[in-house]
Structure 1
Amino acid sequence: WLEELHRRSGLHPIYFFPTGPYGRYDKNPAASHPEFAKLVRTLARHNRVGLHPSYRSSTEGKWLEVEKRRLEKLTGRAIGRSRQHFLRLRFPETYRQLLAAGIREDHTLGYAETPGFRASIARPFPWYDLLEERITELTIVPFQIMDVTLRQYQGLSTAEAWQSCLPLIEHSRKVDGHLITLWHNNSLSDEGAWLGWRDFYAELAQWCRRLKKDDVP
């Protein structure tokens, strides 16, 4: 249903896949698991994909390159995008690690506790390394809305979440910005605590279609 929704809405999502080791903060399947590998290959055929680096890769840089190679092997293509686990960013170390590993586009910058414009801008921008006083090749793509922000951090119902998101959608539209949202697979399961959020996502997709936006992952 998700791929069909994106097709009907004219949206082009990016799927970020984890390929790191299982651990306390990393509960993903092994990259070698047949069903996981099949899912990655299937989605990568017609969609943009990126790496979801493990929690430990933030402080153990060697894992970033290992995980990137694993995803490249699965997809058969070079991987140049990432989104950090738990939005874990260390400045400037994280961005420098990404550059060293060949990542050129990162989608981590945003608030965990509240929707909004953490970068004060609704468009991608090049990362400027203040310590080295230079513009780098890394493009930062800030997001404005995350699923767990709405339901877990703020404890909103879907109706309340919609009222929280509408001003951000309107602000992005007024400045011809990019409305970027971040969603986890379990939040679209329509089960348990996430019951009803699949419909919320579908409504958001249709709203963006009406606004003629095609950049909401």
Structure 2
Amino acid sequence: MKTKRLPWCNFQDIIAMEQDYGARSTFFFLVLDPDSEDYAYDIEDLGPDLGMIVDQGHEVGLHGGHQTYNNPDDIREKKRRLEKLLNEPVVGYRNHYLKIKVPETWEYLSKAGFQYDSTMGFADCAGFRNGMCYPYKPFDLRNNRPMDIVEIPLAIMDKTLFYYMHLDLDLSWELTRQIIENVKQCHGVLNVLWHNNCMSGDYLKLYKRMLDYCSKEGAWMTSGKELYDWWSRYL
């Protein structure tokens, strides 16, 4: 079967840029079948890219498809395919279009062996959907207990600023800087989402400006897995 390969296999360039600022990321990958919505490549074709990302100290996580958030069987199957390529556990998750069903998605992810999710955020505005800038264990009201998974809430997404909020570069940066300062005052965590096909033009300028500012402020810019490992000692 002939497969397709996205033109945006720019992972090495992203890693090189982030290394200039002492930053490491989690790269979330869609694992889709040819008949799936938004299918553009077979994940198996990207094995060398995934290996390169991990070898250079970054993380690979699962990016769920449109309906994966509400399908525990699909979550487990896509996780299995990605782990087979990596030959190591996949512990981080984010869903397409920030779709989440509370509390079911967290329950499905926990049972599938994920350690953290990073879906909880707004698509159409920047800020904190759950009202705080800290990782947390969601509380299961049905069973009156914390769930066995950590949510690292999302605060800023590239398309949010330029596409949904219709901000220019200067206004996008001013809002981003304000959020960074708020998180700094709270000694919190800022989780940002930048798509690899948004690494050009004003999108790239803003991302570099954010990395530069956070680097000069002494921020620890790391992957979701490393953050989970550190934060879980206090949860």
TM-score by length of 1: 0.91
Query: For the residues of structure 2 that align with 1:142 and 1:177, how far apart are their CA atoms?
Result: 11
Give the superposition deviation at 1:196: 2.4
Q: Which residue of 187, 195, 198 maps to 1:176?
A: 187
1:146 and 2:152 correspond: no
Matched, 1:208 2:230: no
Rounded to whole Å, the distance in 1 between the matches of 2:40 and 2:151 is 25
Alignment partner of 1:84 is 2:95: yes
Matches within 5 A, 1:1-217: 1-23=13-35, 25-33=37-45, 36-45=46-55, 46-188=57-199, 190=200, 195-215=201-221
* CA distance in structure 1 between the aligned counterparts of 2:68 and 2:34, rounded to whole angstroms: 12
Paired AA for residue 210 in structure 2: L
Deviation for aligned residue 1:10: 1.3
Q: Structure 1 residue runs of 4+, over 4 Å off? A: none
C-alpha deviations, 1:68-120, integer Å up to 9, x for none?
01110111110111011110001111111111111120011111110001121
Partner deviation per Cα, 1:29-61 (whole Å, 9 max, x = no partner): 11222xx22211211222122111111222332
1:5 Cα deviation after fit: 2.1
Q: Which runs of 5+ in 1 are unaligned?
A: none
Percent same amino acid at aligned positions? 26
Task: Report the TM-score, using the length of structure 2 for normalisation.
Answer: 0.84
The Cα offsets for residues 115-153 of structure 1, whole Å up to 9 and x where unpaired, read as 001121111111111111111220000121100101111
The count of residues paired between Structure 1 and Structure 2 equals 210
Cα deviation digits, residues 159-203 of structure 1 (max 9, x gap): 121112121011001111111111111111x2xxxx222121111
SS in 2 for 1:49: strand
Name the CA shift for 1:93/1:152 in 2 (closer, same or farther; >3 Å): same
